[in-house]
Amino acid sequence: MIGVIGKNADEYFHQVNISKAVILTTDGFCQFGAGSEIMYKVYAPTLYKDYVAVTGTQPSWEPMFAVNPGPISGDTGDGQLMAVWAGAAMNPYGDVAMGSAESGIGGTVALCINQNGGRFWNEDMGICEKHNQLMYQPGHVSYDIIDVNWRDRLPYQKTSHRNLQVTDQLVAVGWTSTYYIDNFHKEFMSSIGVKEGIVPSLDSHAGTVYGANTLEELAD
């Protein structure tokens, strides 16, 4: 490394030159049960406490540095730990980890409500912050409400995990972003009038989608 270049909130670029330093970028430690116990308890204590409060159990930790430790190989924090042990300084960051509180369209183009019908977070923020707030909602459930114009808001949303960007780049094997967005829209529209709702074929983890012509019909 000979330096870094970054851009601030005012869109100005800054260059920092270095001569006797190394900047290491490595993976995270988001995978519960993948040898990340020390990383969670030190750097993400809120998420760890939320897990215990919600499930009433302790995570099933696996040994650090195990080969292929879990479904997401590598997210154990071992790269960060090795750097700290060698004398590096950990870059400080907020105690909010990435979770799976997302619909198929990401996090910031929808009106998000809880089971009581109330908003519970700022939809302009990223999906990780949504997950953290969802832990405090009734039933740990949220609903994303969009209208037919949801695609028009995509260029103005925050760049974040699973927030769809309108590009021709691949977002999955064989799928471009535009293909994914347009086909999701077709599936959303096909849910109108289907009482039992539909499960999007592009992302079954997105949950059941219900469609209606008005909010009143949707509530029924």
Task: List the chain domain ranges.
Answer: 28-97, 111-213
Q: What's the mean pLDDT in 168-197?
A: 81
> And the tokens for 110?
């929808």
Indicate the pTM of the whole model. 0.57
Q: What's the mean pLDDT in 161-165?
A: 66
**What would the pLDDT profile of 200-211 be if each residue is shown by its tens digit?**
887 766 678 899
Taking the C-alpha atoms of residue 76 and residue 37, their distance in angstroms, rounded to an integer, is: 9
- Secondary structure of residue 36 in the 3-state scheme: coil
On whether the CB atoms of residues 28 and 75 are closer than 8 A, the answer is yes
Answer yes or no: is pLDDT of 170 > 80: no
Ranges of H-type helices in 119-176: 127-134
**What would the pLDDT profile of 51-103 be if each residue is shown by its tens digit?**
788 778 887 776 655 544 444 445 667 777 777 777 777 766 555 555 556 66
3-state SS record for 3-35: EEEEECCCCCEEEEECCCCCCCCCCCCCCCCCC
